[in-house]
Amino acid sequence: MNIRENVPIAELTTMRLGGPARYVIEIEEDKDLAEAYHFAQDKNLPTYILGSGSNVIGRDGGFDGVILVNRLRGIYVIDSDQTSIRLCAKSGELLDDLVEYSVKLWNGEGFGYSGIEALSKVPGTVGAMPVQNVGAYGQEAKQVLHSVCVYDCRDNCFKHMMADELDLGYRHSIFNTGDGVGRYFITSVTVELRKTQLTPPFYTSLQAYLDEREITDYSPQVIRDAVAAIRASKLPDPAVEASAGSFFKNVYLNETEAKAAEAKGIPVWDGGKVPSGWLIEQAGLKGKDYFGMRVSEKAALVLINDHAKSYSDLAQAREAIVSAVFEKYGYRLEQEPMEIGEA
């Protein structure tokens, strides 16, 4: 087991901020988990699980504990029938690699299974997918998740959990709420995909992309390519420009609030969702720089770390954006990425 000391969280996360973690352990096999949790329990230190760090922000004081970095690898076909297939991926695989694998599989009549093709190019690992019920372009993890295997560090054992035990909702699951936070290390994820194609109407920007190019082939590979092209045109590659998450969650309104919003000309999708990117853009913040953090010109929900020196720069930038939107619209935006360590 590879144990490193005093590793800057900035090196482990795509926003590239954050002081040192006291210990970092790379989890390469399931059996490393018992040993790693033992190590932390022996020293009476807290643990934090990291995939590729694209939805987590490190704080300046670092983390006086043990960060477990997920390096579990492997993708397997579990079973298939006339209409569907079950794929199991070890949780350290990149989600995009699982998508690629699924769209290239021969299904008996053609290539590709449908269910996660619209999640193409979402940064991060398979293990993080159930944590916030990853979603993009009309698909979300909840629609395809069959089950997960986890290491439960409270009971010190491996468990198998079915999708309906995970309380999956918008950016929500048992893994990021209540006493489930930090308790389960997801070691593998099984998804059930279908031998079908998506049918229109698609998510607005995907539909527009397909219409403009008169594309009527909706095979998983074609949808994957379309989503990849749309994302490349407006979202930063975190390997090139430091950023995390969508920085803000969308705003969810009840029926009365939604009617009031619509009467003011605010877009409300799916009965209650106000796109935070729209609010930020309308508040005139696109391209603005606050304390070294820049609101992306292409996608207002993305906050890019151009030259912020610390978490405290980010906190001030966040407050400036939240206040500007609150003053204009009365909605208080909430940050999506979780935080590690002391401020």
Ligand X SMILES: Cc1cc2nc3c(=O)[nH]c(=O)nc-3n(C[C@H](O)[C@H](O)[C@H](O)COP(=O)(O)OP(=O)(O)OC[C@H]3O[C@@H](n4cnc5c(N)ncnc54)[C@H](O)[C@@H]3O)c2cc1C
Which residues are catalytically annotated?
A: 171, 246, 336
Please give the Cα distance from 23 to 151 (Å, whole number): 20
Identify the CA nearest to 307 among candidates 297, 324, 326, 293. Answer: 293
CB of 295 to ligand X, least distance (A): 14
CB of 201 to ligand X, least distance (A): 19
Please give the Cα distance from 64 to 244 (Å, whole number): 22
Q: What's the alpha-carbon Rg for the chain, to the nearest Å?
A: 21
Count of residues touching ligand X (by CB under 6 A): 36
Considering only 70, 173, 296, 335, the residue that binds ligand X (CB under 6 A) is: 70
Paired residues of 147 in beta bridges: 162, 190
Question: Which positions ≥6 away from 144 have C-beta within 8 Å?
Answer: 115, 116, 191, 192, 193
Binding part of the chain for ligand X, among 2-10, 37-45, 236-244, 266-274 by CB under 6 A, reads: 236-244
Q: Quick check: 66 and 25 in contact, CB under 8 A?
A: yes
Give whole-number Cα distances, 199 to 30, 143, 216, 336, in Å: 39, 15, 10, 30
Binding part of the chain for ligand X, among 130-138, 158-166, 213-221, 278-286 by CB under 6 A, reads: 130-138
Considering only 132, 139, 188, 190, the residue that binds ligand X (CB under 6 A) is: 132
Contact between 7 and ligand X per CB under 6 A: no
Nearer to ligand X, 225 or 257 (CB): 225
CB of 150 to ligand X, least distance (A): 7
Please give the Cα distance from 135 to 141 (Å, whole number): 6
Identify the CA nearest to 299 among candidates 256, 224, 247. Answer: 247
Considering only 20, 58, 112, 236, the residue that binds ligand X (CB under 6 A) is: 236
Contact between 230 and ligand X per CB under 6 A: no
Contact between 49 and ligand X per CB under 6 A: yes
Contact between 39 and ligand X per CB under 6 A: no
The residue assigned the tokens 């040192």 is 20
Residue 215 CA neighbour count, 13 Å, CB half: 22
Subset of residues 183 to 222 that bind ligand X, contact rule: CB under 6 A: 184-186
CB of 110 to ligand X, least distance (A): 27
Please give the Cα distance from 19 to 311 (Å, whole number): 9
Contact between 54 and ligand X per CB under 6 A: yes
240 to 279: interface string for ligand X, x by CB under 6 A = ---xxxx---------------------------------
Q: Provide the binding-site residues for ligand X, judged by CB under 6 A.
A: 14, 48-56, 70, 91, 122-125, 127-129, 131-132, 134-136, 175, 184-186, 235-236, 238, 243-246, 338
